């Protein structure tokens, strides 16, 4: 009996030691990537005033944890294989799992005219990345209820918010609703289309209801992506929806993460200088808006710490961008005021909060 317990204890220790060694190895690898980036920041300590280094560190680490598509990770093989049929020229795909707020769910359901299914409330967007490390659009796996059951599909949108392809990979209706001849009619459609059989969608013969279920999938993709990532104004029947408020292709070209951080840091200090010197209001407004764009921006990096806390990670990133946009609007109306100072202080606090949750310990740039 003692020998049996001894062997079990031995096996237990082997497993746990092996797990700990694997965890240490992963941490060392992650830290190596982060430290390589940090070493590239040495030049900033020679440029900016020493009194700003603390705030600068917070901003830098927020960038490290929020750049490039927020919650970025490789997709599972099966999903990626299907996504590749929609964006065959993509070099890779990364995944983002945004959180739909209750008011967003209500707005989406009102526009769609149907209730969101439980799976829709936790969407997974797959972002194709080009060989130039730029996003090409997005893919959303969505479904709709047909006459004979659930119809499951995937929809690709380009950077202009237009459908590039629709794939149906599971359905119990008819092969006709999954055929290229039927699905290709959705290519080029956008948020302004009705996606209604008899209006801008021609039904597969004898399968009108099933065709309408298929049409709901690209419409759902557009409505959800606009609700999450694009700013829209209310539209009338004679008014077309505006282009996305923050189109990603307008971001300045950056060769690497260090160059992108340099762009953000420059804009950060434009705002700081405006408060200090009370000059160049227009520059400060533009800088704040650019920072909001970068905050929503494109990243292949997971946070150095607490990478499993995806909901909080995305929440902080989205809040950073939203707060900056509100700050830019207030700055345009009021200039320097108690309100805008409080907003800017809140942004700095948010930066520090993100730094504490998702980055490693502070580094003195002067030592590098």
**What integer pLDDT is reported at residue 71 of this predicted model?**
41
The pTM of this model reads 0.48
More confident residue, 103 or 295: 103
- Given a cut of 60, whether residue 159 has pLDDT beyond it is yes
pLDDT tens digit sequence for 4-33: 544 544 444 444 444 444 454 444 444 444
For residues 40 and 64, give the distance between their C-alpha atoms in angstroms, rounded to a whole number: 13
For residues 75 and 42, give the distance between their C-alpha atoms in angstroms, rounded to a whole number: 34
pLDDT band, very low/low/confident/very high, at 231 (cuts 50, 70, 90): very low
Domain ranges of the chain: 42-67+251-367, 77-245
- Given a cut of 50, whether residue 191 has pLDDT beyond it is yes
**What integer pLDDT is reported at residue 193 of this predicted model?**
95
For residues 69 and 302, give the distance between their C-alpha atoms in angstroms, rounded to a whole number: 10
**What integer pLDDT is reported at residue 361 of this predicted model?**
46
Give me the chain's average pLDDT, please. Answer: 72
**What integer pLDDT is reported at residue 347 of this predicted model?**
83
pLDDT tens digit sequence for 87-100: 999 988 888 888 88
Region 261-280: mean pLDDT is: 78
Q: Please name the CATH architecture into which domain 42-67+251-367 falls.
A: Up-down Bundle (1.20)
User: Which ranges in the chain belong to alpha helices (H)?
Assistant: 2-39, 42-45, 53-66, 77-86, 102-112, 180-183, 208-229, 257-277, 281-295, 310-334, 338-358
Region 104-115: mean pLDDT is: 92
- Given a cut of 60, whether residue 356 has pLDDT beyond it is yes
Residue 1 DSSP label? -
For residues 149 and 172, give the distance between their C-alpha atoms in angstroms, rounded to a whole number: 6
For residues 275 and 345, give the distance between their C-alpha atoms in angstroms, rounded to a whole number: 11
Q: What percent of the chain has pLDDT over 90?
A: 27
Give the CA count within 13 Å in the CB-facing half-sphere of 69: 24
- Given a cut of 90, whether residue 124 has pLDDT beyond it is no
**What integer pLDDT is reported at residue 210 of this predicted model?**
96
Helical packing angle, 338-358 and 257-277, nearest 10°: 150
Among 49-53, 79-83, 299-303, 315-319, whose mean pLDDT is lowest? 49-53
More confident residue, 213 or 340: 213
């Amino acid at each position: 009996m003692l020998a049996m317990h001894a062997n079990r204890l031995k096996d237990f220790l082997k497993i746990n030691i092996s797990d700990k060694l694997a965890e240490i190895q992963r941490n060392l690898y992650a830290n190596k990537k982060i430290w390589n980036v940090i070493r590239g920041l040495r030049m900033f300590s020679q440029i900016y005033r020493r009194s700003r280094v603390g705030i600068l560190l917070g901003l830098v680490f927020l960038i490290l944890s929020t750049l490039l598509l927020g919650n970025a990770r490789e997709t599972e093989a099966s999903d990626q294989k299907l996504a590749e049929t929609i964006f065959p020229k993509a070099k890779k795909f990364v995944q983002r799992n945004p959180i739909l707020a209750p008011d967003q769910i209500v707005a989406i359901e009102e526009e769609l005219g149907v209730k969101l299914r439980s799976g829709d409330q936790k969407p997974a967007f797959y972002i194709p990345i080009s060989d130039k490390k730029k996003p090409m659009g997005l893919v959303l796996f969505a479904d709709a209820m047909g006459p004979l059951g659930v119809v499951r599909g995937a929809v690709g949108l380009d950077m202009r918010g237009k459908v590039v392809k629709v794939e149906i990979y599971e359905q119990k209706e008819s092969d006709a609703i999954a055929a290229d001849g039927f699905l290709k009619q959705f290519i080029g459609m956008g948020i302004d289309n009705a996606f209604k059989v008899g209006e801008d969608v021609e039904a597969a013969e004898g399968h009108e209801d099933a065709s309408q279920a298929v049409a709901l999938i690209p419409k759902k993709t557009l409505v959800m992506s606009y609700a999450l990532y694009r700013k829209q104004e209310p539209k009338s029947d004679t008014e077309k929806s505006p282009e996305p408020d923050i189109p990603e292709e307008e971001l300045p070209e950056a060769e690497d993460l260090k160059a992108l951080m340099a762009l953000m840091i420059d804009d950060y200090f434009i705002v700081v200088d405006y408060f200090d010197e009370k000059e160049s209001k227009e520059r400060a407004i533009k800088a704040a808006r650019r920072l909001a764009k970068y905050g929503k921006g494109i990243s292949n990096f997971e946070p150095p710490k607490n990478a499993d806390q995806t909901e909080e990670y995305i929440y902080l990133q989205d809040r950073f961008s939203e707060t900056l946009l509100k700050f830019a609007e207030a700055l345009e109306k009021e200039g320097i005021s108690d309100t805008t100072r409080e907003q800017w202080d809140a942004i700095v606090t948010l930066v520090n909060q993100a730094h504490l949750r998702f980055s490693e310990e502070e580094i003195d740039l002067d030592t590098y």
